[in-house]
Amino acid sequence: MATKRKSRGGYMISVVAEMYEIHPQTLRLYEREGLLRPSRSDGNTRLYTDEDLERLEFILNLARDLGVNIAGIAIVLQMRERMEEMNRQMQGFVDYVREEMLARINQQQNPGAGLVPFKRTALVPVKAAKKKARDQGAGIREQP
């Protein structure tokens, strides 16, 4: 019997076929249909990684337990890949929103750190400002 592991960490087709009780031609069919993509050794031998085996288990579950044909399996795998990609994009968006929110919170907590520095002046009520201007115009000065 061939060894389960090779130098690159992959399983040979005969070992995988024996492990999952399927014919090697079934594995070749899955590869030809694009369901599996095993790597190749320098001698062009198919080498199945642990990731490939997980995918194969999913394929076999669909085929054996749920009765899904090869075309259906291909559709399910494509949908699964699309969902994973959408999940990655959504996570990227959530990360972006989180960073923006934190930046804006920090900017509100430290208002002097804006893009354009400005000096805050004290606000004086309009009535008091008018009275002060009128008093100064009439020559009346406030007592300190």
DSSP sequence for 65-81? IT---HHHHHHHHHHHH
Q: By three-state DSSP, how is residue 39 classified?
A: strand
8 pLDDT higher than 70:
no
Question: Per residue in 45-54, pLDDT tens?
Answer: 999 999 999 9
Judge whether residue 3 has pLDDT over 90.
no
**Residues 96-124 pLDDT 10s:** 999 999 988 887 777 655 566 666 677 76
Q: ∠ CA 116-122-126 to the nearest 5 degrees?
A: 120
Total of domains in the chain: 1
> Does a structural domain hold residue 47?
yes
Residue 23 CA neighbour count, 13 Å, CB half = 3
Any domain includes 124: no
- Tell me if 128 is assigned to some domain: no
- Taken as a whole, the chain contains a residue count of 144
Write the CB contacts of 5 (distance below 8 Å, at least 6 apart in sequence).
11
Q: Is residue 95 a part of any domain in this protein?
A: yes
The full DSSP string for 102-141 is: HHHHHHHHSGGGSSS---------HHHHHHHHHHHHTT--
Contacts of 33 (CB under 8 A, 6+ apart): 70, 74
Q: Is residue 131 part of a domain?
A: no
Q: Would you state the pLDDT for residue 6?
A: 39
Q: What is the average per-residue pLDDT within 65-92? A: 97
User: How much is the pTM?
Assistant: 0.62
Supply the CATH number for residue 32's domain: 1.10.1660.10
Residues 17-52 have pLDDT tens digits of 999 999 999 999 999 999 999 999 889 999 999 999
Q: Which domain holds residue 84?
A: 11-111
In a domain, 103, yes or no: yes
